[in-house]
Every structure is written in structure tokens, then in C-alpha cells.
Amino acid sequence: MVSKRLLLTPGNKELMKLNFCSLSSGSSGNCYYLGNEFHGILIDAGISATSIRKFLKDMDISMQSIMGVLITHNHIDHIKGLELLTRKNSLPAFTTPKIWESILSPQKRISRDCIREIPLQQMFHLAGFDIEAFPVTHDAPETIGFHICAGDRKITIVTDLGHICQTSAPYIKAANLLVIESNYDEQMLENGRYPYFLKARIRSDHGHLGNHQTAEFLADNINDNLFHICLAHLSKNNNTPEMVLQTLEQTFLARGIILNGRQRISVLNRNTPTDLISLV
């Protein structure tokens, strides 16, 4: 008799359970996990390395199983724990040469041995995943999203972008699991206490996606292959999970969109990990 363990070898991609989890999502810190029972990766390290190690341990995920961290851009809410992850855990970190330049000029203590440069829009392989980085518009020297394939399962993570352009749209539309920003409620931002220049920056094509922008894009592009939508990177001061869901529900209702029984929508917590989301 063949044991379950033998069936679940890393080469047997189709049989492996794939789990996604958000450890933290929002303007105070971003870190996401994707992996199977053998190995996994992190996307961004925007909370302390101590918190990342603790959250993974709480979920019975060993730090040794993490094969690398993908970095989207140089803002502190995406790289806060990167220095220690490279120095103490010797974790390889993957991003474009331009983003490395923007990270390394102010923060020089990243372990040089852990620097891995990746090209834009060319597939590379890590931990059994086929991964492609694609550019998005945001107010950093360069910002990228990630499209990650495990067998026929496709995950797109795109958390900081002012608008969805022709380059990023196909990666977002192709996802089975989509992690997409829904940063601010337009009315809360307008009526809030931020100075005008900051409101303008957030609303611009190089800022963040508002709830209506994200909801309209999803209403335009929802399809049966999109199983799970995770709404991410909520603003602390200009949004609430309730506002995000209400905007999406109203937009879908106005368009007559009804989710099929397999489709799920989650709003990711700002400061605490979500449950593991399984992609069967």
C-alpha cells in the first residue's frame, strides 16, 4: 500500500494542498505566506521578524520551510522585518534590481548573501512555484505585484497601486486566489483630517486603490475561475472592513452579479493573521 506521505512528494504538485495566509495587511505592515506542507514563501516582510517567526510558529509552519521572501517595494510597511530575516535567518530575498537599489541605499544592513535579483515579467522558480513579477504604479521608485503558479492554481498578490493598468490587469484577471488592495473609502478620505496634498497623493494613479475602484474592477472581471478574493491593505484612518464589504456588495448588486457557491470573499485583518486559506 502506498502511504499518504509518499503520494505527497514535492514533485506531485497536483496532490499537494496549498495554503495561503495573511500575517498582517495594511498601512502598518504587510506579510503574506503561501506554501504546502513541505515548503513555502513569504511575500513582503513589513512587520518585525520576531512577529513573523511567532505567527508562523503559531500556525505550525517552520521557519526552515520558508525558501525565500518576495519584496514588492521599498516602503517600510513592506520591508520592516527584512533586515533581520536576511541576517538571522539567512532568508534569500527576491526583488528587481531597481527595488534593491531603493532598499539598500538607506538600509545597508541587509545580508549581501541573501540578495536575489529578479527580472520583470519573466518567470522564475522558487519552492516549487513559477513566479512572475509585474510592474504597478505606486509612489515608490519601483513597485511590483506577483503572479504565482502552483500547477494549475494561480495566485496574484497586488497590494499597493494607484490604478490597474494594461500591464497589471491580465495578471489580476488570471487569478484563482486574488489578494488585491482596497485601501480607502473615498468619502472617509475626503472628509478626514489628512492634509490636501496627502489626500491627493493617495487618490492619484500612483497612490492606492479606493473601495469603489477595486469593487468596479472586480465587478467588470469576476469569473468562475476566481475562487477567493482577499481585500487587502486597508487604511487605518480612512476605511473599515464593513465599508469595504458594503461597497463591494452594493456594486455587485447594482450589476446583478451573484457569486457562485464556491466563491469566497475575505477582508484581511490589519494586525492579526487570518486563518489558513486552502487552495485545493
Rounded to the nearest 5 percent, the helix, strand and coil shares of the chain are 30, 25, 45
Provide the minimum distance between the beta carbon of 37 and Zn ion in the complex, in angstroms, as a whole number: 30
Contact 218, 228 (CB under 8 A): no
Residues in CB range of 75: below 8 A, 6 or more apart: 46, 140, 160
Q: Of 74 and 89, which CB lies nearer to Zn ion in the complex structure?
A: 74
Residue closer to Zn ion (CB basis): 39 or 75? 75
**Exposed, middle or buried: residue 225 (CB in 10 Å: 0-12, 13-18, 19+)?**
exposed
Q: Minimum distance from CB of 161 to Zn ion (Å)?
A: 9
Cα–Cα distance measured from residue 119 to residue 116, given in angstroms and rounded to the nearest whole number = 10
C-alpha cell at 25: 495587511
Whose Cβ is closer to Zn ion: residue 39's or residue 80's?
80
Beta carbon of residue 55, minimum distance to Zn ion (angstroms, whole number): 18
Which CB sits closer to Zn ion, 19 or 235?
Answer: 235
- Whole-angstrom distance, CA of residue 203 vs CA of residue 209: 7
Rounded least distance, CB 74 to Zn ion, Å:
8
**Closest residue by Cα to residue 155 from 73, 220, 227:** 227
Q: Closest separation between CB of residue 44 and Zn ion, Å?
A: 8
Least gap, CB of 77 to Zn ion (angstroms): 4
Report in angstroms how near the CB of residue 27 gets to Zn ion at its nearest.
6
E strands, the chain, are 18-24, 31-35, 40-43, 66-70, 93-95, 115-117, 124-126, 129-136, 143-150, 153-158, 177-181, 228-232, 264-267, 277-279
What single DSSP character describes residue 204?
S
Q: Which residues bind Zn ion (CB under 5 A)?
A: 75, 77, 160
- State which residue, 236 or 264, has the beta carbon closest to Zn ion: 236
- Reading the block at residue 59, the C-alpha cell is 500556525
Cβ closest to Zn ion, residue 78 vs residue 228: 78
Answer yes or no: are the C-beta atoms of 46 and 72 closer than 8 Å. Answer: no
182 in Cβ contact with 209 (< 8 Å): yes
Please identify, using beta-carbon distances, which residue of 214 and 251 lies nearer to Zn ion. Answer: 214
Q: Provide the minimum distance between the beta carbon of 160 and Zn ion in the complex, in angstroms, as a whole number.
A: 4
Query: Given the complex with Zn ion, which of 75 and 154 has the nearer CB atom?
Result: 75
